[in-house]
Structure 1
Amino acid sequence: MKEFHDKARELMKGYCRVCKVCDGRACVGEVPGMGGLGTGASFKSNVEALAEIRLNMRLLHDVTEPDTSTSVLGYDLSLPVMAAPIGGVSFNMGGGISEDAYADAVVTGSRQAGVIGCTGDGVPTYVHEAGFAAIVKNDGFGIPFIKPWEGKELGEKLELARATGCTTFGMDVDAAGLITLRQMGRPVSPKPASELKKVVDTVHSWDAKFILKGVMTPDEAELAAEVGVDAIVVSNHGGRVLDHAPGTAEVIHEVSEAVKGKLTVLVDGGVRTGVDILKMLALGADAVMIGRPVAVAAMGGLETGVATYFETLRAQLSGAMILTGIQDIQSIDLKVLF
């Protein structure tokens, strides 16, 4: 991974420093770029909230080869991880590689590692086009995320995504208010429950599943369940849309408890290692999404970089499960946490 990180640092100069610890301190306010909005408090809170959580070490057991595999939304995964939807190589990452190469690296590299990659949306059109092409190349094995566009663009994008052959669609409603999109004259907006239900019903009519990304409170998680979404992502959009939001690790347990048994709960924000994955699952998540580290791996090593990063996570998660006495993903609960 060091080789991939060194290459990424060279290609992303001025946009991402590829810090040893990706915690938002060196890139405060760099939006566009890879930083957090304003003071960077929300980005930093994601990392700090996870770092403050401690684990119970247990070694009087017979767990030596834990099973890191799981099934999420009908996908059989080698570990409970997905690549979060990120796009915009030219204005967020320095343009060191093309958008097509980046999207292909994320989706193909994820598939090679036995997990699934999500693709981003935005302006200009090549952002979503590159993502859709990568999913088509991988026989529909990828999850396209569409931004909460105003007007007819939302429906048009969903139809284009459908043509990729995917079986799950996502909407990152937490993108509402993104500075970059407003600067480009293409604002996105929050979605009331009535409008969201129409989107969910449309996707379900295609015999597909729908993920809503950007839920940070129990009441909105319950509302998402009421309108029929199949999964939510507890996310503050990587700290890029609202300054001084809590870290996702601070809210995931309460949110997951509110909708337990009603839908799948995913979470992103500050997840960097296999130990972080274990913490998030113990707090109630069914799986995690990882954004910036996957983007860096893709920039520095293309699909090999992405696959290698996920394999690194799998080894770390396996080691952490041994040292906490956990045989499989389904056995992870609050007893893991100190």
Structure 2
Amino acid sequence: MKETRERARELMKGYCRVCKVCDGKACAGEVPGMGGLGTAASFKNNVTALAGVRLNMRLVHDVSAPDTSVSLLGLDLAMPVLAAPIGGVSFNMGGGVSEEEYIEAVVGGCRDSGVIGCTGDGVPPVIHESGYAAISASDGHGIPFIKPWEGPELAEKLDKARTTGCSIFGMDVDAAGLVTLRQMGRPVSPKTPAELEKIIEEVHGWGGKFILKGIMTPDEALLAARVGADAIVVSNHGGRVLDHTPGTVEVLPEVAAAVRGRLAILVDGGVRDGADVLKMLALGADAVMIGRPVSVAAVGGLREGVVKYLAALKGQLIQAMVLTGSADIASVTPRVIWNG
């Protein structure tokens, strides 16, 4: 990964420093770009809170080759990891590669690695168009996320997404805080339970599943379950829409406890290595989404870079499972977390 990161640092200059530790400090306030909004407290809280979770090391057991595979939303994955929906290469990542090259690397690299990539949405149209093309080229193996647009744009993009052959659709309702889109004449806004229920009913009518991203409280997790969502993502949008939120791992246990067994629970925010994946699983997640590190791998090494990053991540997860006595994903429980 060293060459991939060095290449990404060169191509993303002025937009991302590809820091040794991606913690939001050097890029605070750089939105657009890869930073966090305002003071970047939300971005930094994601990283520091997760780093503060400690693991119980156990080595008196027979676990030497743990099974990282998992079934999620009808998918069989090599590990409980998804690439988060991130787009806008020209204004967020420096434009060193094209939007088409970038998202093909994410979607294709995830498929090669036995996991699944999500695609983003926004302005200009090339963001969602490239994402949909990549999913189509990958035989529907991808998850398109659509922003909570006002007016007919939401329904139009859902219809377009359906033509990719995908079986899962997502909405990053946390993008409702992107005021720049309203300033560009393309407003996004929060959605009422009734609005979400109507959207989800339509997706279910197609035989698809629906993920609602941007849940940070137990009451909204319960609302998501009530309106029929198949999964939620505990997420503060990478700290890019509201300053001073808690880190996602801080709210994950309470959110998961509220809806466990009713829908799939995903989480993003500060996940950097396999040990971080293990922590999130132990605290209630069924799978994790990873954003910035996948973007760096895609810009710096395209499809091969994504494959290399995910291979390294899987190796780290296996190592962490061995060192905590976790034979498979189902056995990753709060017992692996140190509560001293």
Tell me what 1:325 maps to. 325
| 2:90 matched residue in structure 1 | 90
Q: CA deviation at 1:263?
A: 0.2
Amino acid at match of 1:175: A
In structure 2, distance between residues paired with 1:177 and 1:62: 48
2:170 is the alignment partner of 1:170: yes
Counterpart residue identity of residue 97, structure 2: I
Return the offset for 1:86. 0.3
Q: For the residues of structure 2 that align with 1:312 and 1:19, how far apart are their CA atoms?
A: 18
After superposition, where does 1:93-112 map in structure 2 within 5 Å?
Answer: 93-112=93-112
Name the amino acid aligned to 1:160.
Answer: K
- Counterpart code for 2:78: S
Residue-pair matches, total: 338
**What is the correspondence of 1:295-310 to structure 2 with a 5 Å cutoff?**
295-310=295-310
- Answer whether contact 1:31 1:180 (CA < 8 A) is retained: no
* SS of equivalent to 1:189: coil
Equivalent positions of 1:198-209 (< 5 A) are: 198-209=198-209
| 1:197 counterpart residue number | 197
- Superposed CA RMSD in Å reads 0.6
Structure-to-structure mapping, 1:66-145, within 5 angstroms = 66-145=66-145
2:106 maps to amino acid:
V
Distance 2:323 2:97 in 1: 40
**Fraction of identical pairs, as percent:** 71
Aligned to 1:14: 14
The answer to whether the aligner puts 1:250 opposite 2:244 as a matched pair is no
Q: Distance in 2 between matches of 1:163 and 1:84?
A: 21
How far did residue 148 of structure 1 move? 0.2
Asked if 1:215 is matched to 2:225, the reply is no
Separation in 2, partners of 1:45, 1:153: 33
Q: Which runs of 4+ in 1 moved over 4 A?
A: none
**Cα deviations by residue, 1:209-228 (Å, 9 ceiling, x for unpaired):** 00000000000000000000
Q: 1:274-308 CA deviation, whole Å, 9 max, x = no partner?
A: 00000000000000000000000000000100011
Q: Is the 1:279–1:337 Cα contact (8 Å) retained in structure 2?
A: yes
Looking at structure 1, the residues matched to 305 and 290 of structure 2 have their Cα atoms a distance apart, in angstroms, of: 14
Q: What TM-score does the superposition give when structure 1 sets the normalisation length?
A: 0.99
Q: Aligned equivalents of 1:319 and 1:313: distance in 2?
A: 10
Larger deviation, residues 175-184 vs 4-13: 175-184
SS of the residue aligned with 1:102?
helix
Counterpart of 1:50 in structure 2 is: 50
Distance in 2 (alpha carbons) for counterparts of 1:196 and 1:140: 24
Q: 2:47, 2:181 → 1: CA distance?
A: 26
Counterparts of 1:182 and 1:88, CA distance in 2: 17
Partners of 2:186 and 2:4 in 1: CA distance: 34
Structure 1 residue 177: deviation in Å?
Answer: 1.9
Q: CA deviation at 1:104?
A: 0.2
C-alpha displacement at 1:179, in angstroms? 3.7
